[in-house]
Amino acid sequence: MFKTLLKYSLFIAVVLTGAACSESVQEKPVAQVGSHYLYPSDISRIMPANTNTEDSAILANDYINKWIKQELMIQKANENLSEDQKDLTHELEEYRNSLIIYRYKNELVKQRMDTVVTTEQIEDFYNANKQTFLLDRSIVKAVFIKIPSELANPEQLKEMVKDDSEEGQSELRDYCMQYAKNFEIALDSWIDFAVLNRNLPENISDPVSFLTRNNLKEMDDSNYYYLVSIHDYMLTNDLAPLEFVENNIKNLILNQRKIKFLRELENNIYTEGERQKKFKIYQENE
């Protein structure tokens, strides 16, 4: 393995420094399957910038092996499929047509579709579809702090997390940036309670009971002190706060608008084609 990597380390060094030379210089292939060849320039094109020599060798070796496997599979398929099975003319034409239509529609959507969604439209959609926005998990506005035990001052921290003012949050954030191993200050936005739970040394198995009975939780292990301060919560099956689903609603509105836009586009193109006699539908007796 080491010899292989060394071989490709030297090879990649040459590829990355010399593969872009004059096209008139004939490249020596690095692999061959049947009449198909893989060249150094093919590999250099897939190399991420600033990759060190050892990593480049590993990537090159992996790419060569994948290329060989693919070429062998293509060769085997060509040997075993009939000419009719290998005729992809219809499939390629269908794919090309689908791709052209897709790109044309996307261009029209970007150029002509109204993408402005107002706060009033979001609120109207929310109020008209509240059953759609029942929570499937508990969410919280909370502070979570994980701090080395030797640096922790529990009484000071408990006082600091009570202050939900902008100035208080800023002071707490500065403190955590300096001393905490990990922290989350989410008082202006909702977060998934499970995210906090995963960071605790002991799993809270009953979030409902915990959230309804506690607004402050202290834990510790051999190295760290943990503090969770719950400032607000919503439980599974509660109606999600508008601010929590606002972006989803905006996307839903835009998606509905896009569907309507594209339906009207197809109908308009059909009407135009009919008016300009661009198509004809033959009857059975014609």
User: Strands 36-38 and 139-148: what pairing?
Assistant: unpaired
Instruction: Indicate the pLDDT class of residue 5, thresholds 50, 70 and 90.
Output: very low
Q: What's the pLDDT score for residue 103?
A: 97
Query: Which residue has better confidence, 258 or 282?
Result: 258
218 inside domain: yes
In-domain check, residue 40: yes
CA distances from 12 to 2, 21, 120 (A): 15, 15, 59
Q: What angle do CA 127, 130, 132 make, to 5 degrees?
A: 135
> Tell me: the pLDDT tens digits for 142-171?
999 999 999 999 999 999 998 888 899 999
Residue 58's pLDDT band, with cuts at 50, 70 and 90, is confident
* pLDDT at res. 22: 41
pLDDT of residue 24: 46
112 and 254 part of one domain: yes
Last residue of a domain, one of 47, 80, 113: 80
Residue 122 shares a structural domain with residue 139: no
Residue-number span of the structural domain to which 171 is assigned: 135-234
> pLDDT-derived band of residue 10, with 50, 70 and 90 as boundaries?
low
Residues 145 and 69 occupy one common structural domain: no
Per the structure, the count of domains in the chain is 3
Task: Give which of 69, 73, 74, 8 is closest to 44, Cα–Cα.
Answer: 8
Same structural domain, 112 and 230: no
Extract the tokens encoding 261: 């836009």
pLDDT in tens, 229-280: 999 999 999 999 999 999 999 999 999 999 999 999 999 999 999 999 999 8
On whether residue 22 sits in a domain, the answer given is yes
Mean pLDDT for 110-131 is: 96
Same domain, 249 and 272: yes
Nearest Cα to 144, choosing from 111, 191, 178? 191
Indicate if 75 and 100 belong to the same structural domain: no
> Are 203 and 140 found together in one domain?
yes
73, 21: one domain? yes
Q: How many CA atoms lie within 13 A of 22 on its CB side?
A: 2
Residue 110 φ then ψ, to 5°: -65, -35
State how far the Cα of 205 lies from the Cα of 197, in Å rounded to an integer: 9
Residue matched to tokens 């090879």: 11
User: N- to C-terminal Cα distance for the chain?
Assistant: 73
Q: pLDDT band at residue 51, thresholds of 50, 70 and 90?
A: confident
**pLDDT over 90 percentage in the chain:** 71
Q: With a threshold of 0.75, does the pTM exceed it? A: no
Q: For residue 215, what is the domain's CATH number? A: 3.10.50
215 pLDDT more than 50 = yes
